[in-house]
Structures are given as C-alpha cells and as structure tokens.
Chains A and B, each alone.
Chain A
Amino acid sequence: MIELLNISKSYRVNGKTNRVLQNISFMFPTDKSIGILGLNGAGKSTLLRIIAGVELPDEGEVVKDCRVSWPIGFKGGFNASLSGEENCRFIARIYGQNVDRVTGFAYEFAELGRQFYDPIRTYSSGMKARLAFGLSMAIDFDVYMIDEVTAVGDKRFRDKCNALFKERRQRSTVIMVSHSMPTIREYCDCCAILARGSLQLYESVEDAEKVYEAL
C-alpha cells in the first residue's frame, strides 16, 4: 500500500516560487501497475522521488508498507568513476542483498560484456539504463518506480525486459512516469494524469489517453 497524504512541493527558481505539487492526496491501488502521465515540467519525476523517499515534500506525508525501489532512470544513482560491477556491489550491500547474486544477475541481464568492469562514465545512456534496469530487477521489490527508463534499447532488449516484467508482475507492481503513451500502454493497467499540481486517476489507460491528448 502506498498512500499520499496532502503532499505539496514547491521550488524556488530565481526568486519565484513554483508550486509543482499541490495538496495531493492519492491512494495507489495495490494490485495494479500504474502509469503517471504529464507534460514536461509537470512534476512527474519530483512526485516519483517523493514516493520513493529520496526527496522530502514541503508538506504532507507518504505512508507505505511495502518495499519500494529507488527511482530507476537515466539520471543519478551511479558513481561515474567506479565500474558497473563496483556500483552493483555497492547497491547490493545497501539493500542487504547477497552481493555476488545481485552482481551476477545484473551482469547477465545488462549484456554489457567486458564493459561491465569499466567506469560508468564510459557508458552510453542506453547502457546505463540497461544496467539500472537489470540491477533493480535483481532485487525483489514490491513496487518498481520507473522514470522513463524502458524507452531505451533495441527491440530485442525491450522484449527481454517485457518478458522479465511479465513474470515479475505476478508479485510486484510498477509505478511508471512517462510522457509517452505507448510505453504506458505497454506496461500499465491504469493511468493517472499529473497536471497543474494535482493527480487524477483514470480507470483505463484509454480514458486517460483522451484527457491527456486534450492537455
């Protein structure tokens, strides 16, 4: 269960206060994967970081009783001067996991070959995303928080992600942030739209699609 209680968040840019999230109260369905749509700058990533517990809201509270992943995406999370392997070992340790198992899984899944042992700074953004995805799948989360990550990689790699996801979906769900409708359609059961600081849930992805297109 993940519940948002009256969440507000604003940023100050050049002396002006920009209120990104405004008194959002929201109950995430436990058994459904949910996509969050929103225009660029609507605050999707901020919302995801607040749910994951990376960032604190100005007001309000996030109540959760399940294992939530870190926000999986291109940005952040890796130390550029350490290798893919060293980053995997670090993350396995902070999640109290078996280091060799997690590292092995990520190595197999990310298909980086020898470059797994090279510093992350030599990776392309696609390689980073592959590693981040493989690594997160090596750890059993109840909810995977995904920030636009699946849109990368070639068709074959995406099929592989989908297959793993399908299997994983039996025990885990996804909260995914995106502005790409096809991605959401592919992974999510229902959809919410974040616009003008508030979050609105739609029962079907199609309903959300109509509203989103009108934005």
Chain B
Amino acid sequence: MTRALQEFATGLYVQTNVIHALILRETKTRFGKYQLGYLWALLEPIMWMSLFFLMFLFGGRVAPNGMDFVGFMATGMCPFLLFRQTTNQLTRAVSGNKALLFYPQVFPLDLLIARGTLEAASISVVFLLIMGGNAVFGAGTAPAHPVHVITGFAMASLLGAALGTTLHAATLYFPSVENYMSSVLRLMFWVSGIFFTSTELPTQAAALLWWNPALHIVEIVRSGWYGAYHPTIADPGYVLYWMLGFGFIGLTLERISRRRIEL
C-alpha cells in the first residue's frame, strides 16, 4: 500500500514537472516569437469587438437588456473564444509537438493539459483586463455573481478540452475531421449569443438554438456579470452532459489511439 502511494506520489511529481515545463515552452512558442507577442493575445478579441462595435453603430443597434456595449460583447466573445480556441489548440496539440513524445515521461495527455491550461489562463487574463478597463474607464460594473462567471469560464474551458481531446484522437483515424470541425466552430460563432441574448430570440429560433451548449455558457457568464439580466437559455446541467459525454469519449479514444501516433 505504501509502495503504491509512493509510486503515485513520484508519478504525480514527474507529471507536474512535465506539465509545468510544457506550459512555459508553449508560452514561448505561442507568444514569445515576436516582441509584442503577448499583446497579440489581447488584440484579437479587441479587434473583433471593435469590428462589431462599428457594425452595431451603423445598424443602429445597442447592447440589449440594459447592458453596456463592451461588457455585452466581452461576456459573449471571451467565453466563446475560450471554448473554440481550446478545441482548436487541443486538436492539434499532439500532431504539432510529436518531437516531445521522444521523452518517455511526456504523454499525449500532458500536451493536451498544458495547452488547455495556457489557453484558459490567457483568455481569462484578457477578459479581466477588458472588464477591468471597462469598469474603470467605461460604463462597466463589477460582476454581480463572480462564482457564476467563473463557472461559465470553467465550462467553456472544459467543454473545449473534452471536444479537443476527442478530435485529437479522431484525427488520428480520419484526418479530415479537423476540417469539418473548424466549419462547425465557425458556424457556432454566429449562433452562440455573442451578438444577441437568448431573451431576444424568436420562439422557434430559441427552441433550435437551445441545443447549442456554447450559447448556454455565454448566457451563464452574462447573467453572472449582470445581476439584473435573466436569460432564458442558461442551463449548467445541460452543459454538464456535453462535458461529461465528450470527456468520456475523448479520454477513451485518447487511450485507444495512442499507438497510432507515429514518431
């Protein structure tokens, strides 16, 4: 018993070292190539938001349900980008890092965990910077229910991780899966509540989009930040089904597909 515990402790120590090293290395390869690399992480969501700000302006549309524009956009954009980026990053985490599997203590799962963690950290920082800036200089407020906001972000991250792990394994059998998925994710960008809230949807559209877990996540974050906003589509239990489903499929496939990775 003590021996098993000892082995577990050693294994945990080694894996912590590995994941720590991978995160530092990923940070370098993702952002460190150029001098202003870290700035790019902040720039992408802000550029999207500016573009939609202009579109809203010309369309004569304002942020719904009494929210301010920046807050409305950031609470939609950031959780969605977290979900999408985590999915994309994890799908390619192993194929782009095969050289690292040369070290016996580095497992494919470590590469997935490291990328997922980095993505969650960087988008959360971006979100806090935007919302903080908005509260200090703009029309923003402090979050009404911080725990709901954190729950929403955790769900975005974990759903992306579960889906990304599944796709990573699936692409080892069917490489074209990645292309299909990026189309699906691109479509989801428009139907996940970044530009609208669930309360604005016509009944039929609401019934259809209810199935989209990313919309639930966005609305959970939004209602967490804006206490007075009560969305019609924000069921954490429903998102949990997706997370557990893809988490189970993903981890199982990851295990089965390990031998198919060619060094």
Q: Which residues of A contact B (CB under 8 A)?
A: 49, 52-56, 58, 68, 70-71, 76-82, 86, 89-91, 93-96
Contacts and interface: CB of A to CB of B under 8 A. Distances in A.
Q: Which 9 A-B pairs have the closest CB atoms?
A: A93-B21, A53-B104, A76-B102, A77-B102, A94-B21, A94-B18, A70-B103, A90-B25, A96-B17
Given A76-B99, A82-B25, A86-B28, A55 B263 contact: yes
13 contacts: A71-B102, A76-B98, A76-B263, A77-B103, A80-B99, A81-B33, A86-B25, A90-B22, A93-B18, A94-B17, A94-B103, A94-B106, A96-B13
Contact of A78 (B17, B99, B258): B99
B118 interface: no
Contacts of B20: 93
B29 interface: yes
Interface string B198-219: 0000000000000000000000
Contacts of A81: 29, 33
A56 B28 contact: no
B30 to A, nearest CB: 11
Contacts of B41: none
Contacts of A58: 259
Contacts of B125: none
B136 to A, nearest CB: 37
A101 to B, nearest CB: 16
A82 B104 contact: no
Nearest to B25: A90
Interface in B116-153: none
B154 interface: no
Contact of B24 (A53, A55, A90): A90
B17 A93 contact: yes
Contacts of A49: 263
Interface in B1-54: 13-14, 17-18, 20-22, 24-25, 28-29, 33
- Determine which residue in B22, B102, B263 has the highest number of CB atoms from chain A within 10 A of its CB, and name it: B102
A56 B101 CA distance: 12
- Determine which residue in A53, A70, A77, A90 has the highest number of CB atoms from chain B within 10 A of its CB, and name it: A90
A90 B24 CA distance: 8
B92 to A, nearest CB: 15
A179 to B, nearest CB: 20
A13 B104 CA distance: 25
